[in-house]
Amino acid sequence: MLWNELNTKEQIENFLKLYDNFLDSFIVKFWYDSGNYVCRADPYKASQYNKHDLTIRFERMEYAPCAVEIKFEGIKRFSYFPYEDLSDILFAKIVKNDKYIYWTMWEDFDPNNEEHLNYNDFTLIEAKKASWRSVDNPILKIKYFYYTVRSKLYKMLKIRNIL
């Protein structure tokens, strides 16, 4: 699966339109890669690459695409505050300034506003770059197609009084 860059305003807008600003999506999992490791052959050797990559998997009931992963490279800040009573995302956005790209659920967030960048009580990812890919399961695609066709066929037959 190929990664699609999120470098330009147009690429970001197209992705947000495709994924409907994360409406009714869920964060399924996070995974963080520091790039560091300890050599198994010689425990006194270790490497520090300071990679700092965060990948997030989002899923939703809608299809096209149903599941996506976003990889944030060169993480500078990551704060996550899950809702107590609500597990789905009602809105999220990706914005960019001259230095970084941001993902947040704060609709009014402005990356060029220093005050906003100093707040620490909202969900925010700040990274050097980001890319995304669809990770839809082919079986889910078949099920979605089957239920969509079945539903449309049922409605058509119902309208024509065949059922």
Kindly report, residue by residue over 71-94, the tens digit of the pLDDT.
Answer: 999 999 999 987 766 668 889 999
CB burial of 117-153 (b: ≥16 within 10 Å; e: otherwise) equals: beeeeebbbbbeebbbbeebeeeeeeebeeeeeeeee
Domain count for the chain, please give it. 1
The domain of 68 spans: 4-136
The closest alpha carbon to 103, from 140, 82, 130, 83, belongs to 130
The reply to whether 37 falls in a domain is yes
pLDDT, average across residues 90-100: 95
Whether 152 is covered by a domain: the verdict is no
Instruction: Answer whether residue 159 is part of any domain.
Output: no
Q: Has this prediction a pTM greater than 0.85?
A: no
Q: Which amino acid makes up residue 68? A: V
